[in-house]
Amino acid sequence: MIELAQHIETLLLENDCVIVPGLGGFVAHYAPATRVKEENIFLPPTRIIGFNPQLKMNDGLLVQSYMSVYGTNFSDATKMVERKVNELISVLHEEGKVDLPNVGEVRYTIHNTFDFAPYDNKITTPYLYGLDAFEMKELSALGKPQAEK
């Protein structure tokens, strides 16, 4: 599972969607910077990882990653991905959940579907790297203009 998770994590750094054939697609959503008025802080923009179990068609992105890392052809890389996905689904059926380090946890539901809980702030997005929350107090009300004499 760790190997598959590493490929997913790496691909999500530069792509908004990584489809794991036969399982589903991990989709990154941009969340803009926000202000928490009660605490006087601004939170930086971030990407939130979601999961769509209907995205099962092999788009080749994950297979291409395996080809690049292992120096193999498309056919062999496809078989490698299929084996890893079958192992993951088998563990899901047996244990009910699978941990994908730095990505999140996939769960097998009672409705025979897959659910996903992302790990907060685990995947660093290169163009958002280094942005931190900061405090900014509200400006005091300026003094009222004095009446002219």
Q: How large is the C-alpha radius of gyration of the chain? A: 22
What phi, psi does 142 have (nearest 5°)? -70, 150
Res 132: pLDDT? 78
26 Cα distance to chain centroid = 6
Non-local (6+) Cβ contacts of 132 within 8 A are 44
Tens of pLDDT, residue by residue over 10-41, are 999 889 999 999 999 999 988 888 889 888 88
CB 56 within 8 A of CB 24: yes
The CB-side HSE value for 81 (13 A sphere, CA atoms) comes to 30
Whole-model pTM: value is 0.78
